[in-house]
Amino acid sequence: MAALAKSRATVIFAGAWLTLGIASAAYAQTLRITSPSDGAVVNPGQTLSVTVSADPAAVQGVAIFGQSPLGSSALQTSAPYKFLIDVPADITTGRYGLTALAIPKSGGQPLLSLISIYIERPDAPQQIRSQDSRIDFRHAGDEDYLLITGVFADGSELILTNSSLISFSSDTPSVATVVPNGRVTAMAPGDANLIVTYGSAVIGQSTIRIPVTVPPPLEVIPAVVSLSASESVSFVSLAHMPGDVALSVEWSIRPQVGRVDAEGTYTAPASVVSRQGVTVTATSVADPTISATAQIWLLPSAPAGTSPR
């Protein structure tokens, strides 16, 4: 049993089915999972029958290890090598590995035979949904992960993110991209929609859209303000950059109507005779290519007894 424990540790350390460099003619002839076939589809809640072909004259015993949360078997020391693996009813759908492990009678490294199976529901969900109804990124280069679940007619809710029946895309990949495991990356400021589709031609398909927003590297708050003569407002620059960087900025206005100080406080002129727009700009001191603007509307004072337009 010490040899089996060591072999099991080797499999666990290998994780998601790394090649351990033990392939050989003897390996191919001595050990093979014959059922299910590589790439077979299995349903949640099913009891999976696994059959292994091995030479009893060459091996001490055979065991099966399923990728978590699939279980493992006890060591069988005589043929035929047949095993039953219970598939949890609430398992996350997707690809899983099954490994047959045999301990050679001659000693040395254990022999392995590896296949992949796909655990999928045979029916379509009544609804698919995302854990996040929308994604508001902090800055370009930020990442997030989608968690997609399906609600089925029997009341069960399963995670579908890694299912073989799911696809992800972005309608504006220049703003945000998404890869098959649901990882979303903010590429540049703007808005996009992520499209998630689950199903097949056999069971039908469901699609959801998830809005995504990527902010600009610098923002001025408030974005729009209206002032009358001699009134003031304090603007704040807000940086959306990795590491929560606080940018030092220089403030400017155009046209030169009223004034803005070094702290971002704008004061309207003492007299405003007609409606006029002024743009206030915050420019990064370290990188002048990074800037943001806000809009000021100067409004004339209403004559006594009337309301301003």
Q: What is the pLDDT of residues 289-305, one digit of tens each?
A: 999 999 999 999 766 55
The mean per-residue pLDDT over the stretch 22-40 comes to 72
Over 50: is that where the pLDDT of 199 sits?
yes
CATH of domain 218-298: 2.60.40.1080
**CATH 2.60.40.1080 placement within the chain:** 127-214, 218-298
Provide the β-strand partners of residue 261: none
- pTM for the whole structure: 0.75
Domain 2-119 part of CATH 3.40.50.300? no
Pairing verdict, β 47-54 and 81-86 = antiparallel
Tell me the residue type at 29.
Answer: Q
Domain 127-214 part of CATH 2.60.40.1080? yes
Radius of gyration from C-alpha coordinates of the chain: 32
Tell me the residue type at 181.
Answer: N
The span from the CA of 237 to the CA of 222, in Å, is 9
Long-range contacts of 70-76 (CB under 8 A, 24+ apart): 70/96, 70/98, 72/8, 75/1, 75/4, 75/103
How many helices (H) and strands (E) would you count in the chain? 2, 26
84 with 47: CB under 8 angstroms? yes
Q: What is the pLDDT of residues 281-290, one digit of tens each?
A: 999 998 999 9
**CATH 2.60.40.10 placement within the chain:** 2-119
